[in-house]
């Protein structure tokens, strides 16, 4: 009976926590790091300030957890979007365009706010760097797999890294203006160059 | 005689202004947008708060001028670093590596702080966007010239844009950790891919 009572309460608590984390990501993407206080996030989540502080006593607690949440979301999003097409130009095109779009979404904008805030905030940096390293490794591995390429061939590893660097740069180019049309043309050209590099 | 007295005073005033703008860029790169107040910048420049406020009555005045200063500095830096080598792989390599390094320096870090702050600050955004468009066009034009390529050939324009997007992405990858070794390998691979794309 104790379990039966506890379960729904734990579920509710977990749901509240998830709502706060999702709201933290929204706030980061929309109003930036300096505007994203615990109160602002609680209001956005429709959670009382007291409940928010019960889950996350400090701003650092909240955003550390949000970093992990962003990380998991980005990887889940990536896994769901990287396809199982037969190798070739169509698959390369799909992977390149998927990555290009991924780095322009809300998760990228939220992560960008954290990176930039962490650049001048050592405690935050200490938490962001290892998570970013993990996301970087996982994204690289998933991209290799999706492209169906063999990393032991010279230049392949760097060509895949260049793809991710370019996607990140395209994400940054989209922060202040809608860069969609230009981005699509660049990604199409990049598909051609990457296809040559991985099949030659 | 009036002119003779005025000149040095104007020079001093101009020098103070330049010191404040250079300090604004340093502060942006080092402590980020939210930490870069007029007082912090004045102290960094070794200028009294009163003198700083004489030149720049508001924080917005100071950073608007600093944006222009960063812009001019970035373009000057680019012009000085883009070489006059004969076309070919060596020149492509020089241009690619120069761009890659350019986007990892202090000016990039300062500009990044402005972009990210502008994402959730409409008045700042209204000032950053047209300047960024100008820098983007000028950087593209200089890169085309330095590579010695003809933009009217299909794909060339996009290959040059991809190069700049990748350089921007590499800059972002270097904000929290020293990415120099990986970046050099990626730029070398990129040189090979770009050489193929522009000479085929």
* Interface with A, mutate which of B154, B163, B165 (most A CBs under 10 A): B165
Contact in structure between A74 and A135 (CB atoms under 8 Å): yes
Chain B residues touching A170 at Cβ < 8 A: 165, 169
Q: What percent of chain A has pLDDT over 90?
A: 54
Give the pLDDT score at B6.
Answer: 59
CB–CB contact B161 A186 (8 Å): yes
CA pair distance A44, A135, nearest whole angstrom = 27
Q: What percent of chain A has pLDDT over 70?
A: 96
Does some domain include residue B48? no
Mean pLDDT of A2-17: 74
Give the pLDDT score at B7.
Answer: 60
Chain B residues touching A188 at Cβ < 8 A: 158
Does some domain include residue A41? no
User: pLDDT category, A7, cuts 50, 70, 90?
Assistant: low
Chain A residues touching B112 at Cβ < 8 A: 116, 172
Nearest CA in chain B to A166: B166
Give the pLDDT score at A1.
Answer: 44
Contact in structure between A35 and A27 (CB atoms under 8 Å): yes
Give the pLDDT score at B1.
Answer: 44
Which residues of chain B register pLDDT less than 50?
A: 1-2
Average pLDDT, chain A: 89
- Is the pLDDT at A21 greater than 90, yes or no? yes
Residues contacting A14, CB < 8 A, separation 6+ = none
Nearest CB to A169 within list B118, B155, B166: B166
CB–CB contact A168 B167 (8 Å): no
- Domain holding A67, by residue range, is 60-199
Mean pLDDT of A91-99: 91
Does some domain include residue A122? yes
CA pair distance B104, B167, nearest whole angstrom = 8
Q: How far apart are the first and last CA of chain B?
A: 66
Does some domain include residue A45? no
Q: How many A/B residue pairs have CB atoms within 8 Å? A: 136
- Is the pLDDT at A61 greater than 80, yes or no? yes
Does some domain include residue B89? yes
In chain B, how many domains are there? Answer: 1
Nearest CB to B185 within list A30, A158, A168: A158
CB–CB contact B165 A162 (8 Å): no
Nearest CB to B162 within list A109, A177, A189: A189
Give the pLDDT score at A85.
Answer: 75
Chain A residues touching B164 at Cβ < 8 A: 169
Chain B residues touching A164 at Cβ < 8 A: 169
Nearest CA in chain A to B178: A129
CB–CB contact A118 B176 (8 Å): yes
How far apart are the CA of A35 and the nearest CA of chain B, in angstroms?
9
Q: How far apart are the first and last CA of chain A?
A: 66
Closest among A43, A40, A56, A171 to A116, alpha carbons compared: A171
Nearest CB to B165 within list A159, A170, A192: A170
Which range has the worst mean pLDDT, A92-106, A123-137, B73-87, B89-103? B73-87
Does some domain include residue A84? yes
Does some domain include residue B79? yes
In order, the DSSP letters of B95-146 are: HHHHHHHHTTSHHHHHHHHHHHHHTT-HHHHHHHHHHHHHHHHHHHHHHHHH
Nearest CA in chain A to B182: A158
CB–CB contact A172 B176 (8 Å): no
Does some domain include residue A39? no
CA pair distance B167, B134, nearest whole angstrom = 18
CA pair distance B109, B124, nearest whole angstrom = 17
Chain B residues touching A192 at Cβ < 8 A: 155, 197
User: pLDDT category, A6, cuts 50, 70, 90?
Assistant: low
């Amino acid at each position: 009976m104790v379990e039966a009572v506890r379960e729904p309460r734990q579920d509710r608590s977990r749901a509240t926590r998830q709502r706060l984390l999702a709201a933290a990501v929204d706030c980061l993407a929309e109003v930036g790091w300096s505007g994203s206080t615990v109160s602002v996030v609680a209001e956005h989540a429709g959670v009382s300030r007291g409940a928010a502080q019960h889950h996350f006593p400090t701003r650092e607690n909240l955003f550390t957890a949000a970093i992990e949440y962003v990380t998991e979301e980005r990887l889940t999003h990536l896994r769901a979007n990287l396809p199982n097409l037969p190798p070739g130009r169509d698959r390369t095109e799909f992977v390149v365009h998927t990555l290009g779009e991924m780095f322009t979404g809300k998760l990228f904008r939220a992560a960008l706010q954290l990176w930039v805030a962490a650049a001048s905030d050592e405690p935050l940096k200490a938490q962001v760097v290892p998570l970013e390293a993990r996301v970087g490794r996982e994204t690289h591995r998933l991209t290799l797999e999706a492209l169906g390429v063999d990393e032991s061939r010279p230049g392949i590893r760097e060509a895949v890294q260049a793809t991710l660097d370019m996607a990140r740069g395209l994400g940054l180019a989209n922060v202040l203006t809608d860069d969609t049309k230009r981005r699509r043309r660049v990604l199409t050209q990049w598909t051609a160059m990457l296809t040559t590099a991985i099949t030659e």
